[in-house]
Amino acid sequence: MINKKIQNAIDEQINAEIWSAYLYLSMSAYFEKENLRGFANWMKIQYQEEITHAMKFFDYVHSMGGHVSLKPIAAVQTEWKNPTDAFKDTLAHEKVVTSLINNLANLAVEEKDHATLNMLQWYINEQIEEESNAEQILAELKLIGDNGYGLLMKDKELALRVFVDPTKTPIA
């Protein structure tokens, strides 16, 4: 049976993951409006990844004999000044998620919940990748600056991203 403190914390994390998905879907809508369909695609993939992250937690709680209690999802931002600002927010948000995952791992250690700590290792590794991807795109956008051709090239590159369920593939 799952520890009640751990279950409550995971319930909060499920909410955070779904909120993250909602944020990325909002960013996708913003990029669609700006006619940057490659950027929109990248954010739709992020949305799908965040939903799979939430479901991995959801399934874990139930596999441990717990019961998920879903909370309301707060509103998200819907407009950004430009793609660079959207990716600044993406990176900042991923850093918050990393801290939430680290706090969950700390709680698992405190509660001597080795099963949860083991499960959280996947998320710890995933967050390294999430932050790295956002940092890379942000760095490239800063190099592009106001160059419309550079932005269009980046848009075409981001259009090539396809969804691969990260919970089904090992993280190196």
- In this prediction, residue 170 carries a pLDDT of 63
Rounded Cα distance, 104 and 25, in Å:
25
Residue 168 lies in a domain: no
Tell me the per-residue pLDDT of 20-66, one tens digit each, with 9 for 90 and over.
999 999 999 999 999 999 999 999 999 999 999 999 999 999 999 99
C-alpha torsion 87→88→91→92, nearest 10: -140
- In this prediction, residue 77 carries a pLDDT of 98
Tell me the per-residue pLDDT of 98-117, one tens digit each, with 9 for 90 and over.
999 999 999 999 999 999 99
We report the CATH number of the domain holding residue 150 as 1.20.1260.10
- In this prediction, residue 167 carries a pLDDT of 86
- Number of structural domains, the chain? 1
Residue 43 lies in a domain: yes
Residue 171 lies in a domain: no
Residue 89 lies in a domain: yes
Q: Is the model's pLDDT at 171 over the cut of 60? A: no
- In this prediction, residue 84 carries a pLDDT of 98
> Which residues span the domain enclosing 35?
4-70+80-163
- Concatenating the DSSP letter of every residue in 92-155 gives HHHHHHHHHHHHHHHHHHHTT-HHHHHHHHHHHHHHHHHHHHHHHHHHHHHHHTT-HHHHHHHH
